Amino acid sequence: MEADYIVIGAGSGGCAMTYRLAEAGKSVIVIEHGGWDGGPFIQMPGALSYPMNMKVYDWGYQSEPEPHLGGRRLATPRGKVMGGSSSINGMVYVRGHAHDFDHWRDQGADGWGYADVLPYFKRMEQSHGGQVGWRGTDGPLHVSRGKRDNPLTQAFVEAGIQAGYEATDDYNGEKQEGFGPMEATIFKGRRWSAATAYLRPAEKLGAQVIRAFARRVVMENGRATGVEVELNGRIEVLKARAEVIIAASALNSPKLLMLSGIGPAKHLAEHGIDVVADRAGVGQNLQDHLELYIQMAASQPVSLFKYWNLLGKAYVGARWLLFKDGPGASNQFESCAFIRSQAGVDYPDIQYHFIPIAVRYDGKAAAEGHGFQAHVGPMRSPSRGEVTLRSSDPKEAPRIFFNYMSEEKDWEDFRRCIRLTREIFEQDAFQPFVKHEIQPGADVQTDDELDAFIREHAESAYHPCGTCRMGRADDPMAVVDTEGRVIGVEGLRVADSSIFPRITNGNLNGPSIMVGEKIADHVLDRRLPSENAEPWVHPEWKTAQR
C-alpha cells in the first residue's frame, strides 16, 4: 500500500491536512488507531462528559505525579477515534488572540503572525452569527452559538458588565476581551468534529483511511519513506512517495519522532534507538491550561440539575434522538469571558467557561443540587513540562510530565482568578440566584488556604501543546521549521498542536485545525495572502485592569 502522502492521525490537524491534499488531487492514506465516531455519546453535544471517559475513544493517558499538585496524577485524555480529540472534546471554539500569533512570529515562527493565520481561520469556518468581515462564511467547519435561554447564562454576562468589564459580541472577531456568547463546533444539534467537516469529504475525494497502529516512521538515508504499522495483527510498512505528515497530538507526535530516531540523542541512546537526527527540543516545551471550577449553589431551581436523574436524562436523550434539539443539542457552555488579570497585561490572560449546573468533568453533579459554575484559569502559564519515552516499545504510553504550577507566577495568577470570579458572582445580576459558594467555600480566603485548594482541585483543561516547537532552522530547540518540516531530515512534517511555540489564548481545537489547513498549503507550495486586520486592544491596558 502506498500513496503520495501518509498522514498519521485523523484528528483536528490531520483531517484538515488530508482534505486539502485530496482536494488538490494528491493520493493520501490516513492512519488512525481509533474507530468509528458515529455513536450517540460522540454525536450528542450534551453527552460530552462520556466519550473522554470511555476507553474505546480515548488513549487513556495520565500525567506523572505532579510535585506541585500534591503528587496527583492528572487524567490526560486524547481522542483515539475518527476526528481525534475533536470527537471527544467540549466543542468550544476559540481561535486564540491575535497577539498569540504575533508572539509566535516574534519568537521565530516567521509567516505565522495574525495577519498570516487570519485568512486560514476564515477559510476553514462557516460562522453562524459571527462578526461580518472577520469570520469565514463558507468553510467546512460549522461554528455556532447556543440559545442562551437559561437565566443563569444571561446573568453571567450581565454580572461581568456590572463588574466593569467589556462586552463582546464575537470573541473570535475583532474584540476578544469581554463577556459574551460562547461558540461551539455544533451544527443542527450535532457535534461538528474534524471528521465530519474534513475527513468524510476527503474520503469522497479518494483519501483512504486505514485503521492501524503507527509504530514509527521508516527513515532511509535521512528521509522519511513510509510508516511501520500494526495492521490486523501483522507489522507492515506503508510507503509514502512524497512525504509523511505526523498529526498524532502533542503527546503522540513527539513519541513517534523519538521512536523513529529523531529527538535528544542521549535520551534515544538510553532506549537503544539509533539516532537519525539529534533534536534536543523533541518532547520539550510541553504546555497546558489548568483550570478550577468555582461552584455556587443556586437559590432557585433554574439550573440543568432538573435533568440529573434517570427520567430527566431519558427525556434529554429521547428528544435529541428524535429531533436533535433540547438540552442535549448544546454543550451548555453558552456564555464565556476573556479578561486581563491586571493592569499592564495587554491582552486577556484569563478565560471563563460558564455552565448553568455545578458538575465535574466526569459528569458527577455537586451534592448540593441546583447550582452553577465558572471554569477559570490563567492562559499563559510560565511552567513547562516534557514528553519522553518509557521504553522503545511503541505500545507503551509516553511519560507525560507537565510540571504544573512550578513557578511562583502560577500561584499568584490562580489566586487572582479565584478572587476576580468571586467578585463577578457578587454582582447584582446573580443576587436572585445565589445561595452560597460550594467551592472553594466562603471560609477559604487567605493565600495559603487558596493555595491548598488549588493544589487539591486544579484540573487540566486538556490543552496539551508545544512538544515539537516550530521555529527557525538554526534554533537548537526548534523541532520543525516554519513550514512544519522536521529539521534535519527530509520528507517529514508535523501538523498539529505540538508545533505551537506557545499555548494560545483559549481552547486549542480551532488553532489545531488552522495548523492543518496552513501546513497543507505549505506542502502544496501555495499560501493565502496576508490580511492586515487590527484587533481591538483595551485603550487603557497599561493603567487599568478593566
The three cell numbers of residue 8 are 498519521
Q: In 3-state terms, what secondary structure has residue 20?
A: helix
The three cell numbers of residue 220 are 532511509
Across 321-396, the runs of DSSP E, i.e. the strands, are 335-339, 350-355, 371-378, 386-388
The three cell numbers of residue 511 are 488553532
Is the separation of the CB atoms in 181 and 351 below 8 Å? no
Name, in order, each residue with C-beta under 8 angstroms of 237's C-beta and a sequence gap of 6 or more. 218, 226, 227, 228, 229
Element (H, E) at 152: helix 151-162
Phi, psi of 5 (to 5 degrees): -130, 140
Residue 353's beta-bridge partner residues?
336, 375
Catalytic residue among 289, 370, 463, 538: 463
Question: How far is the CA of 348 from the CAs of 20, 50, 111, 373, 535, in angstroms?
Answer: 33, 31, 23, 20, 12
Binding site, by residue number, is 81, 89-92
The three cell numbers of residue 323 are 429531533
The three cell numbers of residue 13 are 490537524
The three cell numbers of residue 128 are 453562524
CA–CA dist 33, 39 (Å, integer): 17
Is the separation of the CB atoms in 194 and 17 below 8 Å? no
Which residue, chain included where needed, has cell 527530509? 490
Which residue, chain included where needed, has cell 486564540? 96
CA–CA dist 424, 430 (Å, integer): 9
Sign of CA dihedral 338, 402, 363, 145: positive
Question: How far is the CA of 449 from the CAs of 165, 436, 442, 444, in angstroms?
Answer: 27, 18, 11, 5
Binding site for FAD, by residue number, is 81, 89-92
The three cell numbers of residue 199 are 475527513
Across 33-165, the runs of DSSP E, i.e. the strands, are 61-62, 75-76, 125-127, 141-145
Name, in order, each residue with C-beta under 8 angstroms of 473's C-beta and a sequence gap of 6 or more. 481, 487
Phi, psi of 296 (to 5 degrees): -120, 140
Q: Mark whether 463 is an active-site residue.
A: yes
Element (H, E) at 43: helix 40-43
Alpha helix (H) ranges present in 179-289? 194, 200-204, 249-259, 265-270
Name, in order, each residue with C-beta under 8 angstroms of 332's C-beta and a sequence gap of 6 or more. 46, 146, 304, 355, 356, 357
Task: Provide the residue type at 396 as one letter.
Answer: E
CA–CA dist 28, 201 (Å, integer): 13
Question: How far is the CA of 382 from the CAs of 98, 120, 219, 449, 459, in angstroms?
Answer: 19, 28, 35, 23, 17
Q: In 3-state terms, what secondary structure has residue 456?
A: helix
Active site residues: 463
